[in-house]
Amino acid sequence: MKITIVGTGYVGLVTGTCLADMGNDVICLDKDKEKLKNLEKGIMPIYERGLRDLIERNIREKRLIFTADTKKAIQNSDIIFICVGTPPQKDGSVNMEYIYSVAKSIGKYINSYKVIVDKSTVPVGTAEKVEKIIKEELKKSNKKIDFDVVSNPEFLREGAAIKDFQNPDRVVVGTKTKDEKSIKIMERLYRSTVRVGRPIIFTDRKSAELIKYASNAMLATRISFINQLSQFCDKIGANIKEVSKGMGLDSRIGTRFLQAGSGFGGSCFPKDVSGLAMTLKENNSPNYIFESVIKANEEQKKYVVKRIEEWLGNLKGKTIAVWGLSFKPRTDDVRESPSLSIVNEFLKKGAKLKLFDPEAKENFKKEFPPSDNISYGETSYDVVENADILVILTEWDEFREPDFKKIKKKMNKARLFDARNIYNPEEIKEEGFEYNGVGRR
């Protein structure tokens, strides 16, 4: 099939590449010309394991091309995926300008029947709006062209994006009617997913849009739930790891997304929970849960700083080594990463920071450039030199079994704050460290 992907970011690039790898002819359209030039040269705009090889192979086999030519990309495809960003605005609502601008371009250039697929995470009712915008554009030029707009939200996780795209738990497709042309086309597109035993759920467009928001809000709620309990555990001397385990072994609950830490981040959970909260508000629907989830998350980031401040007495002049800046391991994405607000708080309190992340340093530097109070290390060991405390903010695999003897020798004082609860406290104490985690000591 001939496919155009509009927006070559974390979702668009993975979607386009994986669809090309299934044998489709894919055009990746983006307005960022530098990004496109780099992609053609093999310079990746994002870090995602396995993606480079897949892109190179599909470029070589001429199934994947990159362009900034909107007209050409729209006219040479049967299916158009909208994968542009839907960033949050100050009030928590979703900035829809990129989606609407793509819809306008489609309306302007559409030349034959096409399926327009909303893959970006968008508020309920967006498919209807996209359809309306395309119709308005067609009317302006007196054109009569048939098209369908479907909702096909994406559930991939950064860090495991290719695997998730190729082997999703489910594919959700929302259509306007139950017998439209697009259903057969979407079934054919996802045939290989069905072949590996993964279901496609066909539903209406609003339900599909809500499934995405509801899924992210559920996961974020579990994180805020366990984080709130972690603060209580610290107060009463209980152990949140044991609590999560004991709860999670109940088959109705399950263990996942019940790990206490420094709060959730990333380009999805914070904005999707706020987006859902705003949508409920706009529709005068009760919203007790989601605003609390966001509030609890903000609190948790402050809580980590408060615990460290209480431990060290005063942060002024203290050297803090931080391991992990991305919002989660195996990505270079720092959007809404808890590390942004935690580092900012440390700085405000007069600390000196030595930062390390295996992949996210360059993105983090855009927010916090090196200065008198901020330096970046090439290796995890560089940053512990003369540090008064080591703080783990992201649970990268390589942080799990470091050489603690070497670290201890380098540090000014052997203290470890494990904001992701990845270590066994007894083992760390045996290495001669003072240890604190979140909801356990």
Q: Which positions touch ligand NAD (CB under 6 A)?
A: 6-12, 29-32, 35, 83-86, 98, 101-102, 120-121, 154, 156, 158, 267-268
Closest CB to ligand NAD among residues 117, 321: 117
- Whether residue 18 lies in the annotated active site: no
Helix (H, G, I), strand (E, B) or coil at 9: coil
Scanning the structure block, which residue is given the tokens 């991305």? 326
Closest CB to ligand NAD among residues 29, 260: 29
CB-based closest residue to ligand NAD: 9
Closest CB to ligand NAD among residues 223, 240: 223
Residue 318 CB contacts under 8 Å (≥ 6 apart), including other chains:
312, 350, 351, 352, 388, 389
- Cβ atoms of 435 and 418 closer than 8 Å: yes
Burial of 426 (0-12, 13-18, 19+ CB in 10 A): exposed
Closest CB to ligand NAD among residues 127, 390: 127
Least Cβ distance, residue 31 to ligand NAD (angstroms):
4
What angle (nearest 5°) sits at the alpha carbon of residue 202, between those of residues 201 and 206?
A: 110
Least Cβ distance, residue 199 to ligand NAD (angstroms):
19
CA 160, CA 140: separation in Å to the nearest integer?
Answer: 43
One-letter amino acid identity for 121? T
Query: Residue 138's closest CA among 119, 174, 176, 112?
Result: 112
Least Cβ distance, residue 371 to ligand NAD (angstroms):
27
- Both tokens of 434, joined, read 């003072």
C-alpha neighbours within 13 Å on the C-beta side of residue 189:
28
Least Cβ distance, residue 279 to ligand NAD (angstroms):
14
CB count, 10 Å around CB of 216? 23
Closest CB to ligand NAD among residues 58, 151: 151
CA 48, CA 30: separation in Å to the nearest integer?
Answer: 19
Least Cβ distance, residue 275 to ligand NAD (angstroms):
9
Residues acting as catalytic residues:
268
